[in-house]
């Protein structure tokens, strides 16, 4: 009988990151919210594209450059039609590009996400002694690993640290880091009254929705 319960948690971000910039109209640093709209400008064969942001305070717009003076022939036709149609998948890809936003913003405010789905992988053992959680993050979500595990499993961060460390005695797993796509976290349940943990590992909890870091 297998004695490890394997689950996959898929995390989704609740909202796009917000760049903070000096707003000319407000005269101070403000958060800018993605408007979900792309602006395209054609100059002969050359194309410019921006993702439009709005100041949360005064609605002044700021155009975040996606590319400039790109030859239309070099651009993938699907990409071009997606930009013209404000395709949500494409918008989301650019809006979650925190590295690109950091280059042009004073700072970038990121938001926590929530676990959208919990699935059991493979066989489900009767009395598991170990829990293995695989994290899937299709888009970047900013949440610390210990906070995520604590919220979702219903245990204190100190308790999480103990049972995770027990399972990874030789590796110094960093629970104070952000959760990343493809992570695998083993949890030792041999010393633990584990019924609730196991239940929480596979059932949805609404604890994280909409929260900031």
Give residues in contact with Zn ion (CB under 5 A): 23, 25-26, 30, 55, 57-58, 60
Cβ 25 to Zn ion shortest distance, Å:
5
**Residue with Cβ nearer Zn ion (6 or 30):** 30
CB 160 within 8 A of CB 149: yes
Nearest alpha carbon to residue 199 among 134, 146, 120, 135: 120
**Residue with Cβ nearer Zn ion (104 or 120):** 104
**Residue with Cβ nearer Zn ion (58 or 180):** 58
Greatest Cα-to-Cα distance within the chain, rounded to the nearest angstrom: 70
Cβ 52 to Zn ion shortest distance, Å:
14
Burial class (CB in 10 A: 0-12, 13-18, 19+), 10: middle
Q: How far is CA 56 from the centre of its chain?
A: 22
**Residue with Cβ nearer Zn ion (57 or 176):** 57
Cβ 29 to Zn ion shortest distance, Å:
10
Cβ 54 to Zn ion shortest distance, Å:
9
As a whole number of angstroms, the distance between CA 90 and CA 95 comes to: 9
């Amino acid at each position: 009988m297998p004695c490890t319960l394997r689950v996959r948690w898929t995390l989704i971000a609740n909202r796009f990151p917000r760049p903070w910039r000096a707003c000319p109209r407000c005269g101070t640093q403000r958060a800018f919210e993605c408007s979900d709209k792309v602006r395209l400008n054609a100059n002969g064969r050359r194309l410019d594209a921006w993702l439009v942001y709005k100041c949360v305070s005064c609605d002044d717009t700021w155009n975040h450059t996606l590319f400039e003076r790109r030859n239309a022939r070099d651009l993938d036709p699907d990409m071009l039609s997606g930009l013209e149609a404000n395709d949500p998948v494409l918008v989301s890809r650019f809006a979650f590009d925190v590295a690109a936003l950091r280059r042009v913003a004073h700072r970038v405010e990121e938001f926590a996400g929530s676990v959208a789905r919990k699935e059991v992988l493979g066989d489900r053992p009767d009395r598991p002694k170990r829990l293995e959680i695989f994290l899937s993050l299709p888009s970047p979500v900013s949440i610390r690993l210990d906070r995520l595990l604590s919220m979702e499993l219903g245990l204190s961060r100190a308790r999480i640290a103990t049972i995770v460390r027990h399972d990874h005695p030789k590796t110094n797993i960093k629970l104070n880091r952000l959760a990343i796509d493809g992570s695998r976290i083993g949890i030792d349940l041999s010393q633990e009254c584990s019924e609730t943990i196991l239940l929480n590992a596979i059932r949805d909890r609404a604890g994280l929705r909409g929260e900031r870091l």
